Structure 1
Amino acid sequence: MAKDYSSLTNDVLEKVGGPDNVIGLFHCATRLRFRLKDKTKIDAEGIKSVPGVLGTVDDANGIQVVIGNDVKNAYIAIIEEHPEIAENAGGTVEDGERQQAETNPVKRLLNMLSAIVGPAIPLIMCSGLVSALLVVLTRWGGLSPESSTYAILNMAGTGGLYFLPVFVAYTSAKRFGCDIMTSVFLGALLISPALISLTEAGEFVDLFGLPVKTGNYTSTLIPSILTIWAYSHVEKLVDRFVPDAVKFVFRPLVSIFIMLPVMLCVTAPLGNYVGTLLNDAMAAINGVAPWASVLVIGCLAPLLVLTGMHLALIPLVMTLFATVGYDNMLFVAFIGLNFSQFGVALACLFKSKNPNLKALSLSCAITAFFAGVTEPTLYGICVRMKRPLVATWITCIVNAIFCAIFSVKVFQFGAPSFFTMPIFLSPDGSMGNFYFAIAAAVLSIAVAFISTWVLGFDDSVYGESKAEA
């Protein structure tokens, strides 16, 4: 039976304070994300009781409502039935600033990273999968590295990270409320071949006598974020002094002339320096104890996803891909999390006699195994019944220990799942890492399934209660 998205979204809107309380709305892979004028109007428990809602996550500027894979349909239902929300999507800059001033600085940072990095992740993952496919085609498909087909696929495979400063400039502009086209222009300048070629002239060149540190900003994240943050303030300053009659042309012109030295002398080098520090810190940890990073993140993986804090680690992961060429912590740890949710859902599917849980478990199992999307299982099953969450934690720790012992690495950006296993193929042609990754996935499924079965669960929360499993 098809979901009644109109009823679902209207119930949710009522419990977030009504359409008039919504100043912004967007969605990620599984969640509706509301920005609200007044958070005190939220009825979180009421939202969780709405049929079709899997759970909620607190947000500095509102609330995130977990819907699942069909979140886009719920989003469309709201936009179509409430044009006033569509018109005010993103809210006003003043409201956003007011709300941010009232929230915890850590939450502000995490929400900022989520808003900036989140929209770019699916495209970067697709690009990484093209690179993984290219490895498969050259290794077993007979594709020649000298062919034009290889060159074109390689262009698509490396493009996701190469053009990262441009993607981030766009999402940063939306987040900071400044002109999008000028922001994208600044992001594109960071990866201009003309700027990169200046590295041949030495470590520093000059711009009107100001020292410009040369560098290659392709595949970087932080330089672009800092640049657009600075531009958002420059744009406001320029707005005050440029007459309205000539703003159409002179506002971007004056802004760019100001931002060129700011970007090339301050924000881009500073962002690059921060990225280098992060990479050096990881290199130091890996040099002393290569197992430590994946073990720490593995133990925290469920908490990171439940709070959205895993997005805060994306800049570090991207730095690792751009420098050493692999990630040995976040996505490796997420072998345990992603495949554990398949094991948990599978155990619930076979053990429970509750038809509502069985239907949910089947959907969650498919989503986790084939797409690596864990929120439906985490919020719809683990959080609601508690003991499957313990099984998830056990699995993540076991996987982290296994991956630490065998030094498992991810060579392409992507969330572990059945279809994305080629991200573990080493570019040097060796197969050991790939086999260990498969073993880690199988181990995670088995541990999660057995732990969930042994610990049991109370499926009465789904209605039509049976005896406790």
Structure 2
Amino acid sequence: MSKDYAVLARCVVEGVGGPDNISKVFHCATRLRFQLVDTSSIDVDALGSISGVMGAVKSVGGVQVIVGNDVVQAFKAMVDLYPNIESAAESDDDAKGHEVSDEKANIFSRMLNVLSSIVGPTIPLIMTSGLISALLVILNRWGGLPADGSTYTILNMVGNAALYFLPVFLAYTSAKRFGCDVMVSVFLGALLVSPTLADLATSGEFSSLFGLPVMTGGYTSTLIPAILTVWVYSYVEKLVARIVPDAVKFVFRPFASIVIMVPVALCVTAPLGGYAGDLLCAAMEAINSAAPWASVLVVGCLAPLMVLTGMHLAIIPLVMAMFETVGFDSFLFPAFIGMNFSQFGVALACFVKTKNPNLKTLSMSCAVTAFLAGVTEPTLYGICVRMKRPLYATWIACIVNAIFCAVFSVRVYSFGAPSFFTMPIFLNPDGTMTNFYFAIAAAALTIVVSFVATLVLGFDDSCYGEKSEDKATV
């Protein structure tokens, strides 16, 4: 029987305090993310018990409600029922209310919240381009596609496009997050990837703009320069709005903003963001040089906690810096072999062992989603958090995988979350297959360990109702 998304949306909105308590709502792949006026009375356990909700967790200034693969339908039903929620998400009043809620958190939590809202929407597109790049390696290596042909060149362009134009995409999402003009923000992001700026590098590391130093070479594939630039622009826009009269605002407010922001972006914010990215990358390279096993081991051991809290998004800037400088990731996505494939093993074990029809249906859906797409939240919240012991099995599998990847130096060469369809991201462009075979071995090991650990630890499926005579408990 199909879900009634209107009922689900109404129950969730009531659970977070009603529409008047919502200052912003958006969604990611599996979660409805709320920014709330008042979070003090929110009961995450009550939210998690709503039919159709897999779980809930408090976040900075709000709450995240895990719906699973139906999150888009639930979000649409919510917007249809409460149209003012969507319009409030882009208003000045909302931006102010959001800043107030952020101030209640420490600076790290606030930065994490900002990164989550800005970087999150771009990740599916970046992963798509990464997968195309990985498939291009397969076509070239085994499909007979020549590297000097136009087809290869065009597909390679598509595979690199999302990372190349990343500052433009981030300028858009940053504008939405900081509440400033979208088109001017996108214009500033486009300046950072202009071929002209890159061509100036032939004359030296720096050029000049009215005597001011401009770092040449461009900022393709970078993350921090665009975010920092749009953040500064959000304040410049307010200043210009107070100075330029309403009678000429249509043209002269964007004009004045751009006149101010071009030297600020090219001479201050973009270079500072570039240096910050270089420092982050240098720090990771130093760690990997001193102890190559350390980073993947730490991330692997913390992977379930990072997904539960959304902290894995905070590492994305480091990963992008690694791809830009050394061409691979050796700590985040290898560690997430354990996170993603363990959820398949856990869900499969639950499907095999339980006699509860509700859990059996849920676990099969979760297993397919985790294995094919690498989406872990349905299993993590719908099964692991709810029954606890499968979460311990997840942790065991993540640690085993982290040790394996650390020992054999498993690397990812294209941006993407590990799953059955994205395994080509482990193919080394130099043609060797060793890394790919180790990645497959890591995935298989993770599945076996998580499956066996779930069966050994057992679980209590009574929380799913309709108990059978033999409850799956050890």
Query: How far apart are 1:146 and its partner, in Å?
Result: 1.3
Query: How far apart are 1:90 and its partner, in Å?
Result: 4.0
Query: How far apart are 1:45 and its partner, in Å?
Result: 2.1
Aligned to 1:59: 59
Aligned to 1:307: 309
Query: How far apart are 1:83 and its partner, in Å?
Result: 1.6
Aligned to 1:21: 21
Structure 2 residues not aligned, in runs of 5+: none
Range 17-26 or range 221-230, more displaced: 17-26
Aligned to 2:341: 339
Aligned to 1:145: 147
Q: Distance in 1 between matches of 2:3 and 2:174?
A: 34
Q: Distance in 1 between matches of 2:108 and 2:292?
A: 28
Q: Is the 8 A contact 1:25 1:90 kept in 2?
A: no
Q: Distance in 2 between matches of 1:332 and 1:468?
A: 32
**Which amino acid letter does the alignment assign opposite residue 145 of structure 1?**
A
Q: Is the 8 A contact 1:406 1:436 kept in 2?
A: yes
Structure 1 residues not aligned, in runs of 5+: none
Q: Is the 8 A contact 1:15 1:41 kept in 2?
A: no
Q: Distance in 1 between matches of 2:90 and 2:388?
A: 35
Equivalences for residues 8-407 of structure 1 within 5 A: 8-90=8-90, 92-407=94-409
Query: How far apart are 1:97 and its partner, in Å?
Result: 1.7
Identity of aligned residues (%): 68
Q: Distance in 2 between matches of 1:336 and 1:96?
A: 35
Q: Is the 8 A contact 1:23 1:90 kept in 2?
A: no
The 3-state SS of whatever aligns with 1:205 is strand
Could you give the per-residue CA deviations for residues 366-423 of structure 1, whole angstroms, max 9, x where no partner exists? 0000000000000011011111111100100100110111110000000000000000
Query: How far apart are 1:257 and its partner, in Å?
Result: 1.0
Q: Is the 8 A contact 1:302 1:393 kept in 2?
A: yes
Q: Is the 8 A contact 1:391 1:451 kept in 2?
A: yes
Could you give the per-residue CA deviations for residues 193-214 of structure 1, whole angstroms, max 9, x where no partner exists? 1111111111222111112222
Could you give the per-residue CA deviations for residues 92-119 of structure 1, whole angstroms, max 9, x where no partner exists? 2221122222222222111100000000
Aligned to 1:445: 447
The 3-state SS of whatever aligns with 2:40 is helix
Query: How far apart are 1:333 and its partner, in Å?
Result: 0.2
Could you give the per-residue CA deviations for residues 239-259 of structure 1, whole angstroms, max 9, x where no partner exists? 110111111111111111111
Q: Distance in 2 between matches of 1:315 and 1:189?
A: 20
Could you give the per-residue CA deviations for residues 148-187 of structure 1, whole angstroms, max 9, x where no partner exists? 1111101100001000000000000000111000000000
411, 419, 425: which one pairs with 1:417?
419
Q: Is the 8 A contact 2:44 2:57 kept in 1?
A: no
**Which amino acid letter does the alignment assign opposite residue 149 of structure 2?**
S
Range 245-254 or range 299-308, more displaced: 245-254
Q: Is the 8 A contact 1:25 1:89 kept in 2?
A: yes
Q: Distance in 2 between matches of 1:453 and 1:397?
A: 18
**Which amino acid letter does the alignment assign opposite residue 24 of structure 1?**
K
The 3-state SS of whatever aligns with 1:39 is coil
Q: Is the 8 A contact 1:128 1:158 kept in 2?
A: yes
Query: How far apart are 1:468 and its partner, in Å?
Result: 4.2
**Which amino acid letter does the alignment assign opposite residue 89 of structure 1?**
A
**1:459 matched to 2:469:** no
**Which amino acid letter does the alignment assign opposite residue 160 of structure 1?**
A
Q: Distance in 1 between matches of 2:216 and 2:156?
A: 27
RMSD: 1.0
The 3-state SS of whatever aligns with 1:57 is strand
Q: Distance in 2 between matches of 1:219 and 1:468?
A: 49
Query: How far apart are 1:86 and its partner, in Å?
Result: 2.5
Q: Distance in 1 between matches of 2:239 and 2:224?
A: 23
Query: How far apart are 1:66 and its partner, in Å?
Result: 0.2
Query: How far apart are 1:89 and its partner, in Å?
Result: 2.7
Query: How far apart are 1:24 and its partner, in Å?
Result: 1.5
Q: Distance in 1 between matches of 2:147 and 2:57?
A: 46
Aligned to 2:428: 426
**Which amino acid letter does the alignment assign opposite residue 428 of structure 2?**
S
Query: How far apart are 1:85 and its partner, in Å?
Result: 1.7
**Which amino acid letter does the alignment assign opposite residue 357 of structure 1?**
L
Q: Is the 8 A contact 1:399 1:444 kept in 2?
A: yes
